[in-house]
Amino acid sequence: MLKKILVLNTGGTIAMSVDASDDGVKPLDDQAVNKILPFLERYADVTMKNVLNLPSPHITPAIMNQLRQHIEVELSLASYDGVVITHGTDTLEETAYFLDLTLSLSVPIVVTGAMRSSNELGADGPVNLISSVRTAADPDSRNKGVLVVFNDEIHAACHVTKTHTSNVATFQSPQYGPIGTIAKKNVQYHHAPLDREHYAITHADANVPLIKAVAGMEPAWLQFLLEQSIDGLVIEAFGLGNLPPSIIPTLKQLLDKGIPIVLVSRCYNGQVQDVYDYEGGGHQLKKMGIVFSNGLNGQKARLKLIVALQQTRDFAQLQDLFEK
Ligand SMILES: NC(=O)C[C@H](N)C(=O)O
């Protein structure tokens, strides 16, 4: 018997078309993804619902949280073997990771999209959606957390990132590689994702900016943060986790105000560590109370801080959570 799969559409290029009049890519046809439905019927008993039609740069953590609630409601009203979410690729890794942190479900949840719009030659939306439905229908996909399926590969939401502006192979997991492959006739897993985390949340409205360290950073660039009411801050530091000395006094002021600061690296491989003991070096940052993250990129560490702040604001407890 065919597995029951729920497909929730949220927008993105998979739902867009090239407008011949001006060559712009836009959401011209709100049925663009629904037109793929007949091709899915061979693989599963699919129910498709259009939840949103947003380009993914318009997605916010509050919308991700609404999507989480939407999925929970849908799964409480009817029984499905898996859920597929279509989404724009620009912030796809963020929504996928947010759902991974906040949903506690054993059914497969797969996020996918397209790099080429629906009426472009070689559009990748239909095949990505077929692969996602096949993945969601596969019993081996259960209990693996949220998965991102793109270009015949299955990635864990916690590791995947968009690596190319236009290539259909844009989604990669730089440190770990894909956890599975979509073969012609079956779905093959190569290894299991690491331990999963779960945060039971009600809202996602913490104000957490993300800033990137650059050579010769001016302290004035960060001064405005002291005047804002922020709940936390994430910094993409250099290399192993080092910052320019010029911004350290401002960071100390933020910490003194009780604002947690999470450090990640600008490098997309490896993780920050408290090694260097010069001014602004990681050794000193850790002693100041800055929380070191565990290899997440900046945009994902920000979402983790947004949800973790509902559990604790204590720097030491946050450090424990970010070591996981
Ligand atoms: N390929 C895409 O989906 C990119 C688009 N700008 C979006 O994220 O909505």
Q: Residue 193 pLDDT > 90, yes or no?
A: no
φ and ψ at 316, to 5 degrees? -70, -40
How far lies 164's CA from each of 17, 71, 95, 150, 224, in Å? Answer: 20, 29, 18, 13, 32
Cβ-contact 157, 147 below 8 angstroms? yes
State if residue 178 touches ligand 1 by the CB under 6 angstroms criterion: no
Spot the catalytic one: 89, 102, 170, 250. 89
89 has binding-site annotation: yes
What is the structure's pLDDT at 64?
98
For residue 91, which atom of ligand 1 is closest to its CA?
8
30 has binding-site annotation: no
Structural domain boundaries enclosing 37: 4-189
Choice from 59, 87, 90 to test ligand 1 binding pocket (greatest atom count within 8 A of CB): 90
Provide the mean pLDDT of the chain: 96
Q: Residue 192 pLDDT > 90, yes or no?
A: no
230 and 108 co-located in one domain: no
227 and 304 co-located in one domain: yes
State if residue 113 touches ligand 1 by the CB under 6 angstroms criterion: yes
How far lies 138's CA from each of 40, 81, 150, 267, 298, in Å? Answer: 14, 9, 16, 35, 32
Q: What spacing in Å lies between the alpha carbon of 119 and ligand 1's midpoint?
A: 15
**Which tens digits make up the pLDDT trace of 94-147?**
999 999 999 999 999 999 999 999 999 999 999 999 999 999 999 999 999 999
Residue 222 lies in a domain: yes
Active-site residue 95, yes or no?
no
With a cut of 0.95, is the ipTM above it?
Answer: yes
Confidence class of residue 243 from pLDDT cuts 50, 70 and 90? very high
State if residue 115 touches ligand 1 by the CB under 6 angstroms criterion: yes
State if residue 15 touches ligand 1 by the CB under 6 angstroms criterion: no
- Mean pLDDT score, 189-201: 90
Residue 8 lies in a domain: yes
> What CATH number does residue 245 fall under?
3.40.50.40
HSE-CB for 259 with a 13 A CA cutoff: 22
Residue 83 lies in a domain: yes
163 and 294 co-located in one domain: no
Q: Residue 39 pLDDT > 80, yes or no?
A: yes
Boundary-marking domain end, from 130, 157, 189? 189
Q: Residue 195 pLDDT > 80, yes or no?
A: no
Residue 113 lies in a domain: yes
242 and 183 co-located in one domain: no
Residue 204 lies in a domain: no
> What CATH number does residue 19 fall under?
3.40.50.1170
State if residue 112 touches ligand 1 by the CB under 6 angstroms criterion: no
166 and 31 co-located in one domain: yes
Q: Residue 161 pLDDT > 80, yes or no?
A: yes
State if residue 88 touches ligand 1 by the CB under 6 angstroms criterion: yes
Residue 121 lies in a domain: yes
For residue 11, which atom of ligand 1 is closest to its CA?
9
**Which tens digits make up the pLDDT trace of 278-311?**
999 999 999 999 999 999 999 999 999 999 999 9
Number of domains in the chain: 2
**Which tens digits make up the pLDDT trace of 83-105?**
999 999 999 999 999 999 999 99
238 and 93 co-located in one domain: no
Cβ-contact 135, 149 below 8 angstroms? yes
157 and 231 co-located in one domain: no
Boundary-marking domain end, from 141, 160, 189? 189
Choice from 56, 59, 111 to test ligand 1 binding pocket (greatest atom count within 8 A of CB): 56
Confidence class of residue 81 from pLDDT cuts 50, 70 and 90? very high
State if residue 55 touches ligand 1 by the CB under 6 angstroms criterion: yes
Sign of CA dihedral 291, 295, 301, 305: negative
Residue 254 lies in a domain: yes
| Chain length of the chain | 324
Cβ-contact 52, 11 below 8 angstroms? yes
Cβ-contact 212, 184 below 8 angstroms? no
Boundary-marking domain end, from 189, 221, 244? 189
316 burial (CB, 10 Å; 0-12 / 13-18 / 19+) is exposed
Cβ-contact 35, 123 below 8 angstroms? no
Residue spans of beta strands (DSSP E) within 176-253 = 180-182, 187-189, 210-212, 233-237
Percent of the chain residues topping a pLDDT of 90? 95
44 and 138 co-located in one domain: yes
88 and 52 co-located in one domain: yes
223 and 315 co-located in one domain: yes
Percent of the chain residues topping a pLDDT of 70? 100
How far lies 191's CA from each of 85, 145, 175, 278, in Å? Answer: 23, 13, 14, 40
Confidence class of residue 324 from pLDDT cuts 50, 70 and 90? confident
159 and 25 co-located in one domain: yes
20 and 79 co-located in one domain: yes
For residue 13, which atom of ligand 1 is closest to its CA?
3
For residue 12, which atom of ligand 1 is closest to its CA?
9
Residue 117 lies in a domain: yes
Per DSSP, the three-state class of 8 is: strand
Kind plus residue range of the DSSP H or E element containing 109:
strand 109-112
